[in-house]
Amino acid sequence: MPNGYNGKILIVDLTKGKWEVETPDEKFYRTYMGGSALNMYYALKLIPKGADPLGPDNVLCLSTSIVTGVPVSGQSRMTASAKSPMSGGAGDSQCGGFFPAEMKAAGYDAIILKGKSPKPVYLWIKQGEVELRDASKLWGKVTGDVEQALKEELGDKKIEIAQIGPAGEKMVRYAAIMNMSNRANGRTGMGAVMGSKNLKAVVVRGKPKLKPAHMDRIRELAKFGATNTKENPAVWDLHINGTCGVLSYQQQDGGLPTRNYNEGQYEDYEKISGETMTETILKDRDTCYACGVRCKRVVEVDERGYKAEALYGGPEYETIATHGSYCGIKDLAAIAEANQICNMYGLDTIQTGTSVAWAMECYERGMLSKDDLDGIDAKFGNAKAMVALVNKIARREGIGDLLAEGSKRAAAKVGKGSEDLCIGVKGQDMPAHMPQAKTSLALIYAVNAFGADHQSSEHDPSIDPASSASEKQKLSEIGLTKPLPVKDFSRDKVHYAYRTQSLYSVLDSVNLCQFVFGPAWQLYGPNQIVELVNAVTGWDTTIDELLKLGERRIAMMQAFNSREGLGHQDNVLPKKIHEPLKGKGPTAGSAIDRKVFDRAVQDYYEIAGWDKNARPTHSKLHELGVGWVAEAIGAS
Amino acid sequence: MKIKIKFFGSFRQRFSREPVEIDLPEGSCVGDVVAPIGERFPGFAQLGYQPLLAVNDCFEKPDKTLEDGDHVNLFPPVHGGATDH
Ligand code: SF4
């Protein structure tokens, strides 16, 4: 048996109710390693060009990696990929929790789901044994109820579940795959793809049996993590206040999106901050398998008609911002309930909140009337209206049916200039890190294959001259030694963005948590990622080899997009980003200059090896060892 | 002049949940709050890193001049943490 991985990939044909097991060789694992890169291999091979993202030809790929399940913080991640119903290009989303480690212990490194089951089913994998079981009784149930029902049906409280809620069944375009009831593969609509296949859940149970090559070296890494978690201020803050700890920081930076991205500061930010959550509704801190950071929140709310139970976890920063400042809402209890609805019904909290914020701005500007909104007075700041709209989206009810398509498609129907109020790239709305405050995000939001994403590169402050010595040290391990101010947007900054994007792309393929491993402020730096991979597999990889893996995954996703007709015309920012930001604070009046942005995009294409239409070139794909992709897409 | 100091992030648990007020001579800069806060909260003087400083909800460099009644927010370097202000 190889060190670190099962060497088995389960391919399930849901139409026929049959499955087979592929056993790729070591070269395959060393080339793709897992997660997103491995998924893109199958997506490019198995999804026919032009496939309907919500039709049976789409293929949903769920992958762990070569390191999943070893006892080190931040390694229990699973990547879901398919053709995205949001963008029509590559879909890609990660989750943590305990499911990934359990899935690998159940005997498969990846699960590839083809076709469409004639009736609702769930996939049950127990120590390598596979079964498709009837899910008719589970269909229509919310995640917490399904979790309970499956534990009873299978007589095992320790099962781990990746499931869709009713939103996925109804193919809300940005439905999530929920991991148990409180974590999600949130972005790019992977839950809608799962729903289109009549697949309610993937349930796993295993026994860890994989032997890493060098357990002593893994123990050393774990020891380093245990000693340094509290010493690293950024990581310790994640423990204390969760991801929401960053909300107050964003405010001082003028980077807290407010009222549908019209402003960069929210006057009531302290009412919804991480500090306030810790002091009020926080009941517990939760974690992912073997992680000592414990950044996950557990909240309880029962006040003024708002409710949230511990079973559904607690809101992340993105959830609080999109349902809070984006909507001008200062009520943490209402936001906690909105988070719970998203987790019960299985929705991407980011896209849910941004869709509501878009509707609110349309309402304020008279593009949507109260009648259009089923009588809801959707003014910015109306917390009850926000929760009501989230409920309607979750059920595709009334106006929720339109908003369930995402703001881009909704705007195409509404017209009246509402298109200009959208804040998306490739149909996926921008998360709560503003390009006006962190310049290189303007570029990465635009060129990223699956739309605007804040977890695809390192943000600008880490390369600023004022960054800490430890950030500088980690960045130097990937060759980034020249400090660049936050607002710099030179070719050097483009290089920084691509280089760190390549490292984040490694993280999404080796499937590592980006709060624990990374190129700058995280607990472990690039050289320790190399050490982890080698300690688990017994290989002799280097940072250069890993960065090539990162580039390979970026190029494969972009090749997929090119094949599906997405190109340069899609690598653009919403109009708002090029117009002066309103409101107060350090970013008021700032905008991303179009000419500077256009030049940065061209620089990026050159550095990444893409042609003018954003197609990875033949020579780049060959250089990355995936010449077969060039042939498949007819690269120039 | 009177300056109101608020702690953010993990500083709040470690130093004070409530804002504190300090007296500084006219013409002081925001960087000048570090020493008196360090005297009041010894752990603050022993941080192994520079805290981030914000004045009236905007990050500033330490040489930013303060005015009477300003609010200074103190942060550990969360998620990166440098600013160009
Ligand atoms: S840092 Fe948070 S999200 Fe990452 S592995 Fe640890 S608990 Fe999970």
CATH number, domain containing residue A259: 1.10.569.10
Cβ separation B84–A486 shorter than 8 A: yes
Please check whether residue A236 touches B, CB under 8 A: yes
Q: Are residues A194 and A247 in the same domain?
A: no
Q: What pLDDT score was predicted for residue A632?
A: 85
Q: Which of A513, A514, A521 to mutate to test the pocket of ligand 1 (most atoms within 8 A of CB)?
A: A513
The atom number, within ligand 1, closest to the CA of A96 reads: 8
Distance CA A543, CA A420 (A): 42
The per-residue pLDDT for A208 is: 80
Mean pLDDT for A292-311 is 98
Query: What pLDDT score was predicted for residue A494?
Result: 98
Specify the number of domains making up chain A.
Answer: 3
What's the pLDDT at B78? 79
Q: What is the DSSP letter of B33?
A: G
- pLDDT over 80 at A400, yes or no: yes
Q: Which of A230, A236, A237 would best serve as a mutation to test chain B binding (most B beta carbons within 10 A)?
A: A237
Residues in chain B: 85
Q: Is A486 on the interface with B (CB under 8 A)?
A: yes
- Judge if A394 and A470 occupy the same domain: no
Please tell me whether residue A603 adopts helix, strand or coil conformation: helix
Q: Is the pLDDT of residue A346 over 80?
A: yes
Nearest CA-CA partner of B63 in B38, B36, B85, B40: B85
* A475 in reach of chain B (CB within 8 A): no
Least confident of A338-347, A462-471, A497-506, B22-31: A462-471
- pLDDT-derived band of residue A633, with 50, 70 and 90 as boundaries? confident
**Structural domains in chain B, sorted by start:** 2-75 (3.10.20.30)
| Same-domain check for residues A263 and A389 | yes
* Structural domain span for residue A377: 243-422
Are A455 and A398 in a shared domain?
A: no
E strand or H helix at A600: helix A594-608
Residue B79, pLDDT score: 64
Q: What is the pLDDT of residue B85?
A: 29
Site from B6, B13, B84, B85 to mutate, A interface, most A CB atoms within 10 angstroms: B84
pLDDT reported for residue A71: 96
Residue closest by Cα to atom 8 of ligand 1 = A288
Q: Which pLDDT belongs to residue B84?
A: 33
The H or E element that residue A424 is part of is strand A424-425
The mean pLDDT of A548-573, rounded to a whole number, is 98
Q: What is the mean pLDDT of residues A265-288?
A: 98
CA A321 to chain centre: 16
Q: For the residues A86-99, what does the mean pLDDT come to?
A: 98
Average pLDDT over residues A216-244: 96
Regarding whether A162 and A27 lie in a shared domain, the answer is: yes
Q: Is B43 exposed, middle or buried (0-12, 13-18, 19+ CB in 10 A)?
A: exposed
One domain for residues A255 and A337: yes
ipTM value, please give it: 0.95
Say yes or no to pLDDT of A294 above 90: yes
Using alpha carbons, select from A549, A533, A519 the residue that is nearest to residue A40. Answer: A549
CA A515–ligand 1 middle distance (angstroms) = 7
Q: How far apart (Å, rounded) are the C-alpha atoms in residues A82 and A122?
A: 18
Banded pLDDT at A259 (limits 50, 70, 90): very high
Residue A230 lies in a domain: no
A387/A276 same-domain check: yes
Is the pTM for the entire model greater than 0.90? yes
* Residue A636 banded pLDDT, cuts 50, 70, 90: confident
Residues of B at the A interface (Cβ-Cβ below 8 Å)? 8-10, 12-13, 17, 48-50, 52, 54, 57-59, 73, 75-85
- Of the ranges A30-34, A322-326, A511-515, B74-78, which one carries the lowest mean pLDDT score? B74-78
Contact A471 B79 (CB under 8 A): no
From atom 5 of ligand 1, which residue's Cα is the shortest distance away?
Answer: A74
Closest Cβ–Cβ partner in A252, A254, A462 for B80: A462
DSSP 8-state secondary structure symbol assigned to residue A615: P
pLDDT of residue A1: 55
Q: Is there a single domain that holds both residue A279 and residue A388?
A: yes
- Tell me the pLDDT of chain A averaged across its residues: 97
Ligand 1 centroid vs A252 CA: distance in angstroms? 25
Any ligand 1 atom below 6 A from CB of A333:
no
Question: In the structure, what pLDDT confidence band is assigned to residue A273 with cuts at 50, 70 and 90?
Answer: very high
In chain B, residues with a C-beta closer than 8 Å to the C-beta of A586 are: 58-59, 85
